[in-house]
Amino acid sequence: MAEIAGSAQGMAAITTADGRPLAVALRHAERVKRWKAFFLVLPLLLFLGVTFLYPIALMLFRSVENPVVADNLPRTLAALESWDGEDLPDEAVFAALAADLGEARENKTFGRLATRVNQELSGTRTMIMRTARRVARFEAPFKEAVTAAHPRWSQLETWAAIARLGDRYTPIQYLAAMDLGYDVQGNIVAQPESRQIYRNLFLRTFWMSLVVTLACLVLGYPIAYLLASLQARYANLLMILVLLPFWTSLLVRTTSWIVLLQTQGVLNDLLVWLGIIGDDQRFQMIFNAQGTVVAMTQILLPFMILPLYSVMKTIPQSYMRAAQSLGAPRFYAYWRVYVPNTLPGIGAGCLLVFILAIGYYITPALVGGEDGQMISNLIAFHMQKSLNWSLAAALGGILLAGVIALYWLYNRLVGVERLKLG
């Protein structure tokens, strides 16, 4: 294009039928074509923008948004600005607190305030609820009245927490999602051991996904090899065995694993019937991490086999023959010639399986038991049970960042247009 434009300028005489310079006309035509292509994609882009990207942005926004304390205690926070953090705040702050709590009581928003402060500093729920209920009867000096209502108002820790929660936007949920928090001085410190959950959960999610990915690779590689080297007729028939689980509902497959593996299930019955174990020694094979890994491996195996197969199909058989005729033993030739050629397939399959595995929710929720829960399950717990939506959003944000990094890598190494379905 640039070359054409350059030569056209050089000659300057070439024009189109309507008298415009050729280079200009061509550039215009190219631009029109680009816009036409773009307009075809535009409806879907807009649709996904509204119903997919915007909701996710909304979730990420919620993970840093922290309006409750700032909305409910505006005067207290303003008065706290000059607080040095060394001693208890002065009378002005307590007076502002009494005014704010009185208003929160009228607006009936003090429950939310109590919940939010309690998430940060446990045990403060009753403090706020009780004080807010009595606030109408308070008289100056407010310092005595407030601290008499609940002793925790006379702790520096409480005031530090309130000052910290006053920020409208805060990374505090992300810190919580990594088992970190602030101490009284405002330094970032690790949570006490007994309250650390999330870091272990991220590690476990990572570890389980890794095991599932490796298991898929080990099981999928021979199958893909078999399919790639069989005649097309037989390969197509066997391919159905791979595609059928791929098409079957996730819930159906999870159900069938429960039926197979539970203590009164088919496999345990078989082992008892064969006399390998006694009726009272049945194995606990499901509702734990191992059961989850087994079920997830079966569910994700087709996603490993398909990319491996499509790469193996393109490796000419003559490579192996050439290596062998040059004197390499069969295994050596296989290891040094065939396997390196399948590396793109291995990379594609492993990345895809890993990406899908770390976000898994349904299977761990149904067969995970205690130690098979993954990060998605905790996000669901905070969304539906504990109703700590900001923390759920922060956990989701971290998970999303991991997935996007892996997806970017997949796009760089494999190319998203190579993604195939069956």
Partner 1 sequence: MISLPPHAGPLERIWHYVFLLICVLVFGFLIAPLLVILPLSFNAEPYFTFTEGMLSLDPEAYSLRWYEALFDTNPNRENKWLEAIPNSLWIAACSTLLATALGTLAALGLSRSEMPFRNLIMGLLISPMIVPLIITAAGIFFFYARLNEYAELTGSFIGIVLAHTVLGTPFVVITVTATLIGFDQSLVRAGLMCGATPTRVFFKVVLPLILPGVISGALFAFVTSFDEIVVVLFVGSVEYQTIPRQMWAGIREEISPIILAVATLLICVSTLLMIAVEVLRRYNERQRGVTPG
Give, as ranges, the residues between 58 and 87 that touch partner 1 (CB under 8 A). 58-59, 62
Measure the CA–CA gap between 213 and 345, rounded to whole angstroms. 13
Site for partner 1 in 267-306 (CB under 8 A): 269, 298, 301-302
Place of tokens 């929720």: 365
What residue type is assigned to position 172 of the chain?
I
Q: Is 330 in the site for partner 1 (CB under 8 A)?
A: yes
Residue 415 Cβ vs partner 1, minimum distance, rounded to whole Å: 8
Which of the ranges 47-55, 72-80, 135-143, 180-188 carries the binding residues for partner 1, by CB under 8 A? Answer: 47-55
Distance CA 259, CA 263 (A): 9
Half-sphere exposure of 380 (CA within 13 A, CB side): 12
The interaxial angle of helices 142-149 and 125-134, nearest 10 deg, is 130
Tokens standing for residue 192: 């006490």
Residue 261 near residue 294 (C-beta atoms within 8 A): yes
| Residue among 384, 404, 393 at smallest CA distance from 171 | 393
Judged by CB, which is closer to partner 1: 45, or 188? 45
Question: Residue 218, Cβ neighbours under 10 Å: how many?
Answer: 11
Binding track over 5-34 against partner 1, x by CB under 8 A: -------------------------x--xx
Could you say whether residue 390 binds partner 1 (CB under 8 A)? no
What part of residues 194-223 is at the interface with partner 1 (CB under 8 A)?
219-220, 222-223
Of 84-92, 188-196, 276-284, 411-419: span binding partner 1 (CB under 8 A): 411-419
Question: H-type helices in 107-197, by residue range?
Answer: 110-120, 125-134, 142-149, 156-165, 172-177
For 320, the token pair is 């192996």
Cα–Cα distance, 130 to 76 (Å, whole number): 18
Q: Is position 145 an interface residue for partner 1 (rule: CB under 8 A)?
A: no
Q: Does 381 bind partner 1 (CB under 8 A)?
A: no
Q: How far is the CB of 264 from partner 1 (least distance, A)?
A: 6
Q: Is 237 in the site for partner 1 (CB under 8 A)?
A: no
Residue 15 Cβ, how far from partner 1 at the closest point, in Å? 24
Alpha carbons 221 and 246: distance in angstroms, whole number: 17
What is the nearest approach in angstroms of partner 1 to the Cβ of residue 341?
A: 14
Q: Binding residue for partner 1 (CB under 8 A) from 226, 271, 328, 337? A: 226
417 binds partner 1 per the rule CB under 8 A:
yes
Work out which of 3, 19, 39, 276 binds partner 1, going by CB under 8 A.
39
Nearest approach in angstroms of CB 338 to partner 1 is 10
Six-digit token string for 397: 């944000």
